[in-house]
A and B are shown apart, each in its own frame.
Chain A
Amino acid sequence: MKQIGLRSVVLLVLVTFFAACAGFFIFEYAVFGDDWAKFPSNRHLYNNGKLFKAGTITDRNGTVLAQTIDSVRYFNSDRQIRMATIHAVGDLEGKVSTGAHSAFWRKLTGYELLNGTYNVSGRGNDMQLTLDANLCVAAMKELGSYSGAVGIMNYKTGEIICMVSTKTFDPNNPPEDSTDGIYVNRLLSGRYAPGSIFKLVTATAAIDYIPDIFERTFTCERGVEIEGEWVSCLYRHGKINFKDALTQSCNSVFAQLAVELGRDKMTKTAEKLGFNSTITVDGIKCARSSYEVSGARNIDLAWSGMGQYNDIVNPMQYLRFVAAIANGGVAPKPTFVKSVTTPYGLNINFKFPGGGERLMSKSTANTLSDMMRNNVLHNYGESNFRGLELCAKTGTAEIGEQRPHSWFVGFSRTKPYAFVVVAENAGSGITVAGRIASRVLSQLP
């Protein structure tokens, strides 16, 4: 019997196998549980593949953007509001993956490990966004037929009050074909050639690394020769100083500066400002801005200093950068969620203070700010932005044979808002993006 007793250890081998499977299941449950629950066939939360068990989503003024009545989810009754906010609010099938319905699925449905999809009240948590629906509508109208994005963020608090992406769609009448990237939020997920708005990055590097930058004068012969190759400029600026070079957006100056600064300093500055890394908005990963000159010749480096070559910018990342200039060098933590309220009235959207990140020194920020102010005063026209004390920079990103992307970025000194406007294949920066910004900003609260 002793022998049989010893052999019964074989049971423990099976128990070990069983326990290993159990452990693995518990691990998967803990890690992937919410992905399992977030399955459109889950009838606790979805009806015919459409989310219904979620709280009410409102904008900053209390306008209802989406709500559930008797197990059916409704968007705002106004078509313009639906279309202007759909990328922030998100559709019900998870096609707009960066929208609240998808990205904040857990908060909206109230799903958590302990209770699963159960809650006593039978409804999810309410969510107030920081967006201003009317401003979003205005921005959408101004973008008109262009594809592009408008983002406006409070540079002190990081609250995004306008987040519009076009082409857009009406969730109540979703289009049959989904080309044109209608489900992409271009503010968060767009990646564009930046053109001259990138000169702000080169300028930051120049201010930081070249002590006598403001004493120097440069020469523009309607372009400049870099190692035997020609970098052209729009005008013959002749003798020009650094400050005017930004105002006139002189390519010759920034080409020379980029080459003088070199790959390392340019890359270091760009990365400090948010290039080559992923920024997040309420946990949503934005597309990466990239500045990559490791294998570049000097002529490429020169072009990279004015936003050509292979520079890529994500509008949200740039908005954060511009907001940092406005905010004395500190980039606020961007967010578009104001509060999340449980059915018992408890706000569970905890925000930790001090989420900002310093991107540049305060003096650099102030210098850049003054230069951008100068741009508006001496080039873009103060009359277009009355009462805002606007500081800005345009961009016209050449992309091969197509019409250039039109950019306009900046901020107001009287109201705490920074903005980014990009319109795809729209033409020059000031005439399209600048005009859109002018009209939208005039409606700032």
Chain B
Amino acid sequence: MEQIYHIYYTYFLAVSRWLLPLFGLIFTCQWIRCLMALRYQPVSLGALVSPEGKRFPLTAHESSVGGGSTADVAIPSLNRRRKCAVIVKKDEWYIYKTLASQEVKLNGQPIDRVSQLEFGDILQFGDTEYKFMPPSAGDCKQKPKKAQKASAGALMFWLIIFQIVMLLQLLLKFYPEIPPGLPIAFLSLFLIELVYFFIRKAFKDPNILAEMQAFFLVTIGLGICTTAAPATLIKQAAAVVLGFLGFVALWQLLKSPDRAMKLRYIFGGGAVVLLILNLIFGKQIYGARNWIDLGIITFQPSEFVKVAFIAAGSAALYRLLATRNAILFMGFSAFLLGCLALIRDFGGLLIFFVTMMVIIFLRTGDIKTIIAISALAVTGGVALIVIMPHISSRFKVWRHVWEYANSTGFQQTRTLTAAASGGLLGVGGGNGYLDRVAASDTDLVFGIVCEEWGLILGLCVLASFILLSFYAFKFARNAKSAYYSIAVCATAALLLFQAALNIFGSTDILPLTGVTLPFVSNGGTSMVASFGLLSFFKGCAVNQGGARV
């Protein structure tokens, strides 16, 4: 009986190792088509009309008013460098004053900080009066519609097919000793994605692309978990379910920009508390002291801090322009970075640092500050490398792993060997050897993907993170609030950079830092936190201004 299964397996493997990369590629291409088909056009929400009758249409839900060309409403007589007001559309219209030195009057009365606005009101910036008027048909030129069809249904179909083939291959491979977690994990994933797909279809949600990419990565992660740590499959599946619920909850919580703005302080406080708890109760596993043991479960607080960091660091436009520098945010970041340095989580430190820089740049656009902080960080980093022996040894082996193949270059050389052994199509799930290397299911997952599922799927994983960045880039500029724009860009940057550290660290393109690959690496906290980050993508996607074409 077993022999028959073995023959089935041999044949199925010979075919499915071609199918999986093929379906992975189709999924990726279909995903790109869906992204390109999602197009939004600016729609006029209202307009400022000058005394000469010139109309300044308001197309964004948050529009800045100022003298320079980067203002949404550019009034030449105003201060060119700083914006004096932000006109915001929530349920009602509001105007926020953002520059103390520039008087803004509403119907003749100076505005103190914020004031409600109605059509017909007269706004006075400096000497000039503008009438706030309802939108008019000529405000925005409507481009002709291009019929582009790309259905999320097809995307879902290819994902399911991909998952079924992978599941069958793994079932046949491990028969008759199938890990009980294997069917459970895949079935719960099917359940989540199908229920979610149909609910979003009922809501006529055009954009579930970020979620689909996450499901794709989770699938590959489950495949790795099956071969590298089958005992943890159920735990991992639970983390996926939990993470998914957290994703839905967080996205609902951030649905309104006002609420998101208010929650920032809670998230900021939460991040600080988590890291302080980590400092006090932290346990050391693999070098960094970034685990907390609660008896029943252990978790890594720094993973959740990533979510809180972005939620606390993003802000709506009126807040950005009112407090032009980001001193408070920088202080907050410096505290977090200090904590991470103390718990010796240097991979995490790097990720937070890059995310912080992206947030500071998005908030202030201040390249001088960025350069100054970078210079400081490089100096500090070099000093750290020189002082700390355990970091300098990592740098010594970098780009020389084969000279240290059985010491500090052990993991990288095994990863490269495994990746090369897999070829483009892989040797099949469970047939690799990299899973026997310590921490391979978290730090060396890219090597396992290449070895067992092939370089093509490895490249699909790479593409996944690049595509999520394009997603953020595309939807950030059209969001209803700068809060979502900043959050989605920061999240994409964080995921991309973390993926780079993991993938290129294990393949010796970058120094090995031992961070996880979001959605793929085995580990509950990392999975839940990754889904938490996903809610910033969703928040941005559901809060798009303009009209879908």
Q: A29: which of B64, B451, B455 is its contact (CB, 8 Å)?
A: B455
Is A4 interfacial (CB 8 A cutoff)? yes
- Contact between chains at A1 and B62 (CB < 8 Å): yes
B192 within 8 Å of A (CB atoms): no
Judging by beta carbons under 8 Å apart, are A116 and B423 in contact? Answer: yes
Given contacts A2-B72, A5-B485, A25-B504, contact A44 B421 (CB under 8 A): yes
**Bound Cα distance from A12 to B489, whole angstroms:** 10
B66 nearest in chain A by CB position? A3
Stretch at the interface among B160-168, B224-232, B379-387, B468-476: B468-476
Give the bracket for the number of chain B residues in contact with chain A.
Answer: 35 or more
Quick one: closest B residue to A6, CB to CB?
Answer: B70
Q: Is the CB of B465 closer than 8 A to any CB of chain A?
A: yes
Report whether B416 and A36 are in contact in the complex, using a CB–CB cutoff of 8 Å. Answer: yes
> Which of A4, A7, A32, A117 interacts with B421 by CB under 8 Å?
A117
Q: Does B417 contact A (CB under 8 A)?
A: yes
B114 to chain A, nearest CB (A): 18
CB distance from A200 to the nearest CB of B (A): 44
Is the Cβ of B477 less than 8 Å from the Cβ of A1?
yes
Q: Does any Cβ of A come within 8 Å of B509's Cβ? A: yes
A10 interface hit (Cβ, 8 Å)? yes
Chain A, residue nearest B488 (CB): A8
Closest to A15 in B: B469
B55 in contact (CB, < 8 A):
no
Chain A residue at minimal CB-CB distance from B362: A7
Indicate if B17 sits at the interface (CB-CB under 8 A).
yes
Residue of B nearest to A9 (CB): B473
Report Cα–Cα, A40/B410, bound state, in Å: 13
Contacts of B467-521 to chain A: CB distance below 8 A: 469-470, 472-473, 476-479, 482, 485-486, 489, 492-493, 496-497, 499-500, 503-504, 507, 509-510
Cross-chain contact B466 with A11 (CB below 8 angstroms): no
In the docked arrangement, what's the CA distance between A26 and B362, Å? Answer: 32
The answer on a CB contact under 8 Å between A15 and B496 is: yes
CB distance from B546 to the nearest CB of A (A): 11
* B54 CB, min distance to chain A CBs, angstroms: 18
Give how many A residues have a beta carbon under 8 Å from the other chain's beta carbons: 44
Cβ–Cβ < 8 Å partners of B509 in chain A? 21, 24-25, 28
Whether the Cβ atoms of A11 and B469 lie closer than 8 Å is yes
For the complex formed, measure the closest distance between the CB of A172 and the CB atoms of chain B, giving whole angstroms.
26
Chain A contact residues: over half helix, strand or loop, or mixed? Answer: helix
Please tell me if A348 contacts chain B, counting CB pairs below 8 Å. no
Is the C-beta of A293 less than 8 angstroms from some C-beta in chain B? Answer: no
CA distance in complex: A15, B499 (Å): 11
Chain B nearest Cβ from A20, distance in angstroms: 9
Closest B residue to A44 by CB, please name it: B421
Minimum Cβ distance to chain B for residue A180 (Å)? 28
Q: Which of A107-115, A212-220, A324-332, A337-345 contacts B (4 or more CB under 8 A)?
A: A107-115
Cβ contacts B319-347/A at 8 Å (1 or 0 each) = 00000000000000000000000000000
Q: Known: A5-B476, A11-B469. Is A112-B358 also a contact (CB below 8 A)?
A: no
The 8 A CB mask of B389-421 against A (1 = contact, 0 = none) is: 000000000000000010000000110111111
Once bound together, how far apart are the Cα atoms of A65 and B41, in whole Å? 73
Tell me the bound Cα distance from A61 to B407 in angstroms: 46
The reply to whether B420 and A10 form a contact with Cβ atoms under 8 Å apart is: no
Which single residue of chain A is at the shortest CB-CB distance from B73? Answer: A2
Stretch from B245-253, B426-434, B529-537 contacting the other chain: B426-434
B contact residues around A34 at 8 Å (CB): 420
Cβ of A43 under 8 Å from chain B: yes
Q: Is the CB of B485 within 8 A of A112?
A: no
Most chain-A CB neighbours within 10 Å: which of B405, B420, B499?
Answer: B420
* B423 and A10 contact, CB distance less than 8 A: no
Q: Does the CB pair A115–B425 fall under 8 Å?
A: yes
Q: How far is the CA of A44 from the CA of B431 in the complex (A)?
A: 9
Cβ-neighbour of A4 out of B14, B428, B454, B482 (below 8 A): B482
A32 to B417, CA, bound (A): 10
| A32-B413 Cα distance, complex, nearest whole Å | 12
- B317 touching A4 by the CB < 8 A rule? yes
Residues of A within 8 A of B420 (CB): 29, 32-34, 36-37, 116
Given A4-B476, A10-B489: A116 in contact with B361 (beta carbons within 8 A): no
Are A8 and B477 within 8 A (Cβ)? yes
Out of A5, A24, A32, A111, name the residue touching B477 (CB < 8 Å).
A5
Q: Which 3 A-B pairs have the closest CB atoms?
A: A116-B423, A5-B477, A36-B420
Q: List 6 A-B contacts (CB under 8 A).
A: A12-B469, A18-B496, A45-B421, A116-B424, A117-B427, A118-B428
B-side residues, CB < 8 A to A, are 10, 14, 17, 60-64, 70-72, 317, 354, 358, 361-362, 365, 405, 413-414, 416-428, 431, 433, 451, 454-455, 459, 462, 465-466, 469-470, 472-473, 476-479, 482, 485-486, 489, 492-493, 496-497, 499-500, 503-504, 507, 509-510
Binding site for B on A (CB under 8 A): 1-12, 14-15, 17-19, 21-22, 24-26, 28-29, 32-34, 36-37, 39, 41-45, 111-118, 120
